Amino acid sequence: MQIRLTFKRASPKSGFTLVEVVVVSALILLASLVAFHTADIVSQREKEERLRYALLEMRAALDKFFEDSYQNPVILVADKPRFPKSINELLTTRRPVPGGSFYLRRLPLNPMFASTRWQLIGNNGTSEELKVITDDSMSFTDATMNIVDVRCPDTVIPPDGLNGIPYKDW
């Protein structure tokens, strides 16, 4: 008994043509582009969610300070009611209730800058002023200004959120 090994030659029909390889490569490229774009949108959406929460936290602290200013013995009677004059006042003043905590434990990070960069809106009854704060400066140069609102600075790139509203208007 003889065992004969034979090798079958590949026919010209086996394998992939150049067109098939190009089409499959194009489909893989298209799928990867869609995945990267989706990842960018998800990342942007997460930043926007953290921005909304940080703005909510600071605005709630401003409102609570204003409400508590009637009862706060640290604030002069002539100044009542009023908003805080600086971010440090929110960070270092305790609420006038038994066991009262600070209005803010820390200044929240702005996720669009990955720093504590915010724009304060100040008002002294006669004029309004905008000031971008950083870690170094946390109050207005005019001592009569009170912080009435806080927002994201105008220098954010991209300037608009996924919903089409500019971040400075949030």
3-state secondary structure of 148: strand
Q: What is the pLDDT of residue 54?
A: 93
Domain ranges, ordered by start, for the chain:
19-169
Each residue of 154-166: pLDDT tens digit? 888 788 888 888 8
Exposure string (b/e) for 75-90, b if CB count within 10 Å is 16 or more? beeeeeebbbbbbebb
Q: Per-residue pLDDT for 32 more than 70? A: yes
Q: Is the pLDDT reported for residue 144 higher than 70?
A: yes
Work out the percent of the chain whose per-residue pLDDT is above 70: 92
**Rounded average pLDDT over 64-83:** 80
Model pLDDT, residue 143: 79
